[in-house]
Amino acid sequence: MRMTTPEHSPLGKHTVYADRYDPSLLFPMPRQAKRDEIGVSEPLPFHGVDIWNAYELSWLDMHGKPMVGVAEFHVPAHSPNIIESKSFKLYLNGFAQEPLANVAALSALLQQDLTRAAGAVVTVTIRPPHVAQHTFADLEGESIDNLPVTIDHYGPPRPDYLHTDAQAGIVEEILVSDLLRSNCPVTGQPDWGSVQIAYRGTPIDREGLLRYLVSFRTHNEFHEQCVERIFIDLMKHCVPERLSVYARYTRRGGLDINPFRSTDKTLPGNVRGVRQ
């Protein structure tokens, strides 16, 4: 039986980089173990998707000429597994010397293998590596990063920092911070990100929210797990009527991961920030 916990993944280990197609390189890990920690079970209390962008994708055409593209993958939040990112990189690198008839053939292989690994249908889009094909912009919302706060706690996450002004009326607003940082639970490498919190409800205390987000700074958890933790903590401590949490992480190994969790079924755009 194949092991599916982080310590059995390729992370932090010497690796031989394959240059031919090999779907066995993908390393799925069940989501539920980490969801148990934050009290999440079926039916899920959120909708969402993990948007992956791959910037180091290349293959050969049938005449041996290298081709390149930028791929976008949508892994649904209800999929039972996440795909460990280094294994994803190794898998994509395996196409470097693989002859393929066209982009459609590559897309079909990617969707087949990633769907099998994730346990739910993964959508795949491959675009040419031209700026005109991609969107760059800041996350929509009001930044809370310039608040004059004193911070002295950097982990573990402190959901008790979160509270609302119960005497105030209902608001609908979007708050943004570029100060999110967490760490890979296997290698300890930092993961840098920007986070957008859109909600309707009594006003969330902004200073407390900023302190809470910074309290992830030395926390060891994968991107998807951090976003689900933020979502659950906000729902529990601030009780909004509606809530969406969207994090845009900087890339590592040619991949960025951008998890989105929401009380609504709407999905976000894939807008790249300046750090991506």
**Strands, DSSP E only, in the chain?**
28-30, 47-60, 66-76, 81-83, 123-127, 142-143, 171-183, 190-201, 242-249, 255-262
172-187 in b/e burial notation, b at 16+ Cβ within 10 A? eeebbbbbbbbbbebe
For residues 133 and 58, the answer to whether their CB atoms sit within 8 Å is no
Q: What region, left, alpha or beta, does residue 64 occupy, with left being phi > 0 and alpha being psi -120 to 50 degrees?
A: left
Check whether 47 is labelled as a binding-site residue.
no
Clarify whether 184 is annotated catalytic.
yes
CA distances from 177 to 28, 107, 137, 255 (A): 30, 34, 14, 21
Clarify whether 191 is annotated catalytic.
yes
Check whether 155 is labelled as a binding-site residue.
no
Question: Which among 178, 191, 233, 256 is annotated as catalytic?
Answer: 191
**Strands, DSSP E only, in 77-189?**
81-83, 123-127, 142-143, 171-183
Question: Which among 184, 233, 238, 256 is annotated as catalytic?
Answer: 184
Q: Tell me the C-alpha distance between 219 and 72, whole Å.
A: 27
Check whether 224 is labelled as a binding-site residue.
yes
Check whether 86 is labelled as a binding-site residue.
yes
Check whether 252 is labelled as a binding-site residue.
yes
Q: What is the CA radius of gyration of the chain?
A: 19
Residue 111: φ, ψ to 5°: -65, -40
Which residues sit in the known binding site for substrate?
A: 83-85, 223-224
Binding annotation for NADPH: 85-86, 252-253
Enzyme catalytic residues: 184, 191
- Which residues are annotated binding-site positions? 83-86, 223-224, 252-253
